[in-house]
Structure 1
């Protein structure tokens, strides 16, 4: 199956979402990304046990930081899905892209 998702979505693969750091999310925003989302394993099904749970907490923390600096925290999200849910991945990409388009461009300019 060939996935159809918006060309604005840039996919960066990591062995586990637990490897995603707060700084990665903030750096993407600082570098001009209008939004960032993490797609991780279903909760309770992480191959590395708790990587996705830890990253969920990181995403919540980044949302708080964005709110504190006056940015809409909805620019950062975490979604959980299995590797067999390619169609759902494409749906999420469309949903997130639509949400970001409604929010408009990032207020951070380099």
Structure 2
């Protein structure tokens, strides 16, 4: 089965979502990502036991930080699915892309002088 999801979605594979740190999520936003989502194992099925649970807490913390600095927390999300749910992965990619399009470009990118020079 060939999965179709928006070309704007950049997949970065890690051995476990537990390896995703708060700084990775914040760096993505700081560097102009309009949205970031983490797709982890189903809860209770992490090969590393609690990696996905720890990362859910990290994502929630990043959402809180974004809200406090005036950026929509919905730009960062976490989803749990199994590796057998490829169709669900593509569906999530389309949903997240639609949500980000609705929110518009990242306010960080819009205020970035480097981005403004590229646009000129």
**Shared fold per TM-score greater than 0.5:** yes
Task: Tell me the equivalent position of 1:76.
Answer: 76
TM-score under structure 1 length normalisation: 0.99
In our comparison, the structure showing a higher alpha carbon Rg is 2
Are positions 1:30 and 2:16 aligned together? Answer: no
Residue 76 of structure 1 deviates from its aligned partner by: 0.2
Task: Tell me the equivalent position of 2:117.
Answer: none
Task: Tell me the equivalent position of 2:41.
Answer: 41
Task: Tell me the equivalent position of 2:18.
Answer: 18
Task: Tell me the equivalent position of 2:103.
Answer: 103
* Stretches (4+) displaced over 3 A: none
Root mean square deviation, CA, Å: 0.5
Q: Which has the higher helix share?
A: 2
Number of equivalenced pairs: 110
* Residue deviations 1:53-102 (CA, integer Å, cap 9, x gap): 00000000000000000000000000000000000000000000000000
Distance 2:27 2:7 in 1: 21
The gaps in structure 1 that reach 5 residues or longer are: none
Residue 2 of structure 1 deviates from its aligned partner by: 1.1
